[in-house]
Structure 1
Amino acid sequence: MEFLSHPVTLQVIEKAFSYPDFVRFTEQLVTENRTTGANQSQAYLDYTRMCLQRMNRWNKTAKVSSKMAQLIESIREPQIWLVITEAWCGDGAQSIPYMAKLEELNPLISLRIIMRDEYPEIMDAYLTNGARSIPKLIAFTQDLKVELFMWGPKPSYLMNRHKEYKHDAKGLPYSAFLEEIHLWYAKNKNHDLESELFPLIESTLLP
């Protein structure tokens, strides 16, 4: 058996959700008034409901630029895009639908989704500044022997804004901070996400 420098296996990929299956799974969770992970508080149930609404909205409205579409269509070797998230993850609900739009443009891309708390060994291999921040996108070659690129858990602007808030909230309640973040996502329309993913995807292309 060949040594892998990461804990992602083909068995994990086979068990993972496709994006449509993940949306249906989230719909089921909302119907049953539960969510993924150990925290089943009302707040997390509400987050999950909002995540479903946001995914459904982006499924209808997310746009891919012609430049990005050309890049995606130029991929000639199969790629597996693995996303680590949870059903209650607000940043995931804002970003993963756009990734799914990219997958739709090229059958060589396989977007697969796993839950963070079900695969702690995978999450711990892809920490962000020591934290289990999600969503995290890791792209692999089809045989999983090469990591092509990583992205996450959110666009750089929001990473910096979150860092500023943690350092000095300036009296802003966390609920108001979250509203600010999701308003930014709505106005940005995946522009920053696309801008950050473009060079990462471009780097995977053969010269």
Structure 2
Amino acid sequence: MEQIIKNSVAKAISYAEYNLLFKQLVTEGRTTGEPTSEKIDYTKLNFSRSKRLDKTIKLLEAQKQCFQDINEKQIWLVITEPWCGDAAQSLPFFNHIAESSENVELKIVLRDENPALMDVFLTNGSRSIPKLIVLDKNLQPIAHWGPRSNATAKVVDDYIQVRGAVDDQLKTELQIWYNKNKGEAILSELQALTLCEENSINV
């Protein structure tokens, strides 16, 4: 696992580089991984949503202080893909946290290009993304989070119990929920993660 993580960090890109890739994909009508029309459409939609969040996210002073109090260097390594809707809702928050803390560096890798890393951090046996892996200065994993907050997961689970499957209606309702929540569920769990109240928070 150590070598897998080391190799992944070495080829990871910054949030700025990820957004350049994102923009290029949208401009060219492409996506990463298997280029289905659905994934291409979601890539375009996710780019718009993430850009809006980049402009509107404002951390509370207590939240900023929490992340500023991280006193040792950490790498927040994220496994994601541009077509992933949950990733579009969380990566802008990861970036704002990294920008608020001099000891947090955000790095990003694509899931389908890094299957060995993904398989170390499965969620209930699934390659669910986004997946945040918090690494210490020696690249040892100290915590991980994802693919959704517990509150978001409950919305999904409750819907599936009633309707029996993930469908377009769920995706619409989930977006409405994200808009109303304004990232509070994500930030709350990342604060708990940072403060080591739990070693990991998983869905």
What SS does the corresponding residue of 1:121 show, helix, strand or coil?
helix
Change in CA separation of 1:173 and 1:69 when aligned onto 2, cut-off 3 Å: closer
Deviations 1:81-112 (A, max 9, x none): 00000010110000110110010012221100
Q: TM-score, normalised by structure 2?
A: 0.91
Q: Does residue 159 of structure 2 align to residue 165 of structure 1?
A: yes
Distance 2:159 2:123 in 1: 17
What SS does the corresponding residue of 1:168 show, helix, strand or coil?
helix
Q: Which has the higher helix share?
A: 2
- Number of the residue aligned with 2:200: none
CA RMSD after TM alignment: 1.7
- Number of the residue aligned with 1:37: 33
What SS does the corresponding residue of 1:131 show, helix, strand or coil?
coil
Letter in structure 1 aligned against 2:103: L
**Among candidates 180, 184, 197, match of residue 173 of structure 2:** 180
Q: How does 1:1-207 map to 2 (within 5 A)?
A: 4=2, 7-9=4-6, 11-38=7-34, 40-144=35-139, 146-169=140-163, 174-203=167-196
Distance 1:200 1:143 in 2: 18
Deviations 1:150-189 (A, max 9, x none): 110011122122223333316x881111010011111101
Identical columns (%): 38
Distance 2:183 2:166 in 1: 26
Distance 2:166 2:135 in 1: 39
Change in CA separation of 1:160 and 1:180 when aligned onto 2, cut-off 3 Å: same
Deviations 1:132-167 (A, max 9, x none): 1100001001221x3221110011122122223333
Give the superposition deviation at 1:12: 2.0
What SS does the corresponding residue of 1:101 show, helix, strand or coil?
helix
Deviations 1:34-59 (A, max 9, x none): 10112x11111110001100110000
Unaligned runs of 5+ residues in structure 1 are: none
Distance 2:156 2:125 in 1: 15
Q: TM-score, normalised by structure 1?
A: 0.90
Unaligned runs of 5+ residues in structure 2 are: 198-203
Letter in structure 2 aligned against 1:14: A
Give the superposition deviation at 1:17: 1.5
